[in-house]
């Protein structure tokens, strides 16, 4: 599926948050950079992504990495 420029940007913003969450999990510890504000931002992005019927890998906020 060929994405328009605005769609590409929207997906890129969401993917950046997803990668940030993954890096936080890899870093371990109780302090994370991706807190509630980042989660709210990602939720808003996801709402728009869903509205536009774009496909992205969901952010796994809860699971721990081995």
For residues 52 and 36, give the distance between their C-alpha atoms in angstroms, rounded to a whole number.
24
Instruction: Name the band, by pLDDT with cuts 50, 70 and 90, for residue 11.
Output: very high
Instruction: Name the band, by pLDDT with cuts 50, 70 and 90, for residue 47.
Output: very high
Whether residue 63 is predicted with pLDDT greater than 60 in this model: the reply is yes
Q: Name which of 21, 66, 64 is nearest 41 in CA terms.
A: 21
Mean pLDDT value of segment 37-59:
95
Q: Residue 12's pLDDT is what?
A: 95
For residues 49 and 56, give the distance between their C-alpha atoms in angstroms, rounded to a whole number.
8
Q: Residue 58's pLDDT is what?
A: 93
For residues 34 and 21, give the distance between their C-alpha atoms in angstroms, rounded to a whole number.
6
Task: Count other C-beta atoms under 10 Å from residue 19's C-beta.
Answer: 12
The pTM score is: 0.80
For residues 55 and 46, give the distance between their C-alpha atoms in angstroms, rounded to a whole number.
10
């Amino acid at each position: 599926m060929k994405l328009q420029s605005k769609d590409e940007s929207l997906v890129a913003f969401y993917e950046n948050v997803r990668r940030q969450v993954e890096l936080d999990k890899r870093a371990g510890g109780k302090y994370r950079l991706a807190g509630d504000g980042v989660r709210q931002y990602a939720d808003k992005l996801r709402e728009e992504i869903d509205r536009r019927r774009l496909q992205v890998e969901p952010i796994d906020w809860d699971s721990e990495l081995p």
